[in-house]
Amino acid sequence: MKKKVTGAAVVLLSAAITAGCGNEIPELNEQQQELVVEYAASQLLKYDANHEEKLVELTLEEEAVPEEGGEEAAKEEEANTEEEIQEVPDTEDVPMIDNTQEQQYENVSIEEFLNLSSVRMTYTGYETSSVYPEQGEEFYFVMNATEGNELLILKFLAENLSGTEMPLDISQSGTRFKISVNGQEKNALTTMLVNDLAYFQGTLSPAEGTELVLICEIPREEVSGIASLGVIMKNGDRIAAVPLF
């Protein structure tokens, strides 16, 4: 339909132009006039589009033309870059500084590390359980192992070696405890047990002894494979490892 309309417009426009040679202008009906106007408008738009396209092409050509001396400047910049790269020292010749230092452990006993006088700490053994203390005993605080784990309870006997009452306050020492299980360090759990070694506060009568514990969790499958145990204590810059077996 578009081709037919355009064709008719061409015929009408040609007739109008041809008629321009004489003095008379052919009479056009309303539909014919619309066709002539439509065709003329399309030709003007086409001309404008071609005009803009040529302007774009000219602009692109102008941008593509390098500025005077541009090639020379580019070569000079490239030479400067290569010179800078050559001045960078070879990293293989730069000595590497190792700031890591092997941790030094003090070789002291638990009572020596805690500065306890007239008190002896003796390791008496360990046990594993899903709950501690066992149900039925009159304790205010009971611990339960998380799913898939068991509680590892290390037991110590704290003895007063003096002939007088001895206050024992380990909680104020600021010491943190870890338990080494087969060489793997585990944080001792924070508890509300009255006999938790890390937080114990009490008084020992002359020659009296009391049981203290440190507790951590281990996977249930590792319970039967405990080959070595130890206690690690840290207080500020000081750190000590005490092997138990």
The tens digit of pLDDT for each residue in 146-185 reads 999 999 999 999 999 999 999 999 999 999 999 999 999 9
| Amino acid at the residue 218 | I
Fold of the CATH domain 110-243? Immunoglobulin-like (2.60.40)
Residue 104 has a pLDDT of 85
Interval 112-141: pLDDT, tens: 999 998 999 999 999 999 999 986 555 568
Which pLDDT band holds residue 73 (cuts at 50, 70, 90)?
A: low
* DSSP-assigned letters across all residues of 191-202: ---TTBGGG-EE
Two tokens at 94? 């730069």
- Mean pLDDT computed over 203-226: 96
Beta strands across the sheet bearing 119-129:
119-129, 149-160, 209-219
* DSSP-assigned letters across all residues of 42-111: HHHHHHHHHHHHHHHHHHHHHHHSPPTTHHHHHHHHHHHHHHHHHHSPPGGGSPPP----PPPPB---HH
Residue 23 has a pLDDT of 47
Torsion of CA 47, 49, 55, 57, to 10 degrees: -120
Residues for the chain: how many in total?
245
Q: What is the mean pLDDT of the chain?
A: 77
Residue 134 has a pLDDT of 81
Which pLDDT band holds residue 211 (cuts at 50, 70, 90)?
A: very high
Q: 175, 170, 173, 183: which is closest to 234 by C-alpha? A: 175
Ranges 35-44, 69-78, 171-180, most confident: 171-180
